[in-house]
Structure 1
Amino acid sequence: MNKVVGLDEQAVSAWIAELGVGALAPLTYRRIGNGQSNLTFLVTDSGGSHWVLRRPPLGHLLASAHDVAREYRILSALQGTGVPVPKALALTEDNAVTDAPLMLMDHVDGIVIDSIGVAKQLTPDRRRQTGESMPRALASIHQVDLELAGLEDLSSRSPFAERQIRRWSGQWAKSRTREVPQVDELTAILTRSIPQQNEITLVHGDFHLSNVITSRDDGRVVAVLDWELCTLGDPLADVGALLAYWSQADDAVPGPFVASTMDGFPTRDELAAIYFEETGRDPAALGFWHTLALWKLAIIAEGVLRRTIDDPRNTAETGAPSTRIIDDIVARAISTAADAGLR
């Protein structure tokens, strides 16, 4: 009988044994992380060595969502580029092993600041070191030579903002659990306010504090995780996403990710300043991308809520987003759009 939902432990153990990664039987599996989309498991062998498995969520999935095989391709391509990522070891889509694509990665030791409890264990100086490392890690992603990495065909090169609005409006239509008129209002505002796109880079698509592993020694980012939303597009989309996820102590609506409200973490303005100093890019369109990221975050959260309603086995240990949290994100998006002069 399987102990871990989503894995055939006996079949997966046999597959890992054939890979020659040095795993010593028996292997044990435990779901880890607060991720609400692709499921992540820690694999431990009898010698105490660790690896990480990733697979899509359980149940019905929207088309193009949660593509683990694509994530494997991206991680493989980023080896040696200067972007801190785990080493992708193997991918299987063999029905005898798994009912969905399954990826094995190296385990990267470090700290994932995915809760305020973890943040409390760090000194204010360490929190600042981690915060200041975030935009620098993001800059390294945007510096990847797409042709050299073999990622120039990763996605369409059509105008990125239009593509994002079209895609996530479609996701909202398919996954919403209720009517939220403000989401439609934001869609209209964003559609009217699209800035000119001047360059195309690799875009992580989900870059925030819970999706990086930080060094136990100096707090810097040593691995960027969760590449399932990675695409080609405007680099400021990632900066907007970082700000959207980055709550600070003086926010009226702190949002679902509150670890960064603790003393020591930089403010959103400080994060943006580090990124623009690091890259020399023009910050003029940042308000648009910050608003779009909040709108998108609300849609993603609604999709997570839909998946947990449809199949409770997908629920992470921290639970699913509440409608109140989602409505708070939407309110912050409306406020951010107004502050940026978007109409």
Structure 2
Amino acid sequence: MSTRRSSRSRLGSEMVQVLVGKEQRDFRMHKKLLCRTSVFFRNHIEAAQQESKTTKSESEDSVLWLPEESPEVFELFIVWLYDRRAFQAYVDSAVEKASRNRHSPTSSPSRISPARHSPSRMGTTRHAETTDSERRALRWNLVRLHLFAEVIDLPALQDDSMDALQDLYLRCDWDMSPGFITFLYGDCSLDNAVRLRKWAVAMLAWTLHGGDGTSSEFEKLFAVFPKLKADYGMHFNKMAASKADLRIKNPQLRLPMNNLRSEERLFGFRQCSFHSHRSAVGEGVCPHLVTGQEDSDDMETGSTLMGEDIISEEEDEEKLEGEAGSSDSEVIITPVCDMETSFLDLS
């Protein structure tokens, strides 16, 4: 039995129709995978099935509607859910593209090109405006993916999106902007954005002590958002107690371990500093290094997040025996079929 056939058999044949956004963009996903992955989806699918029975609907698939979510963000979720390697490859590629022309995520077209009205520069300016828009779109999609992961209670997805956001800021050499702080403290609930706020405050301290000249704007935000001022004071005191130099301790920099030597701690943050499991891991190994890098056919989401195995021991042994003969093309086909023309394409 091929890897693709065995993977599909483990996923089952029942599908769920998910309508995303106010425009109700249509996605069809495996019911078994969604239910095993998230209690949020399991409860909503069961409720939809009960309603279908009550109304005697003839629809074969369960239907869910997520009116407040973005189709672009949901595409990212689907790729992550079905194929972690494809998700990581996309993020790496998108971050690489975003870093080629590094501007502030809040740059205006006039800042991108002062000579924008020159006929000889029109093509260059238009390209700069486009690439800057793509960078900002990628940043917001990663932020909203993190928030969506909190809503559906998927800590591993939260952590992956946080890692990607840190990488994006590092590669683009971005500072923390007043607009982003305003969004996190003015528009987001603490429950959904707690780790984003923690990272943003660390970024804010690094930005201000780097002397970028915007301290007056943030002083106004401290007055508007007392919680921001409290979080900043707590972070500042913690860094002072550890004798960290805020001018060089960069929150964009994820050091590839949690058990760091003294000199390493001066320049960046532990790998899991802004992860959902930070307090449980301590200085140990990030659990994503053990479970998060497995092949999509392992269906890691079911075994690690829900405490249940989608793959039985017998199936897993069968998979391992046939693994040597499997090819890279033998993977689960995700509902995002045409990646070249999807919303994920930033080319």
TM band (smaller chain): under 0.3
The structure with more helix, counted as a fraction of residues: 2
Provide the TM-score with structure 1 as the length reference.
Answer: 0.27
The structure with more strand, counted as a fraction of residues: 1
Provide the TM-score with structure 2 as the length reference.
Answer: 0.26
CA radius of gyration, larger in: 2
Which structure has more RCO (C-alpha within 8 Å, separation ≥ 6)?
2
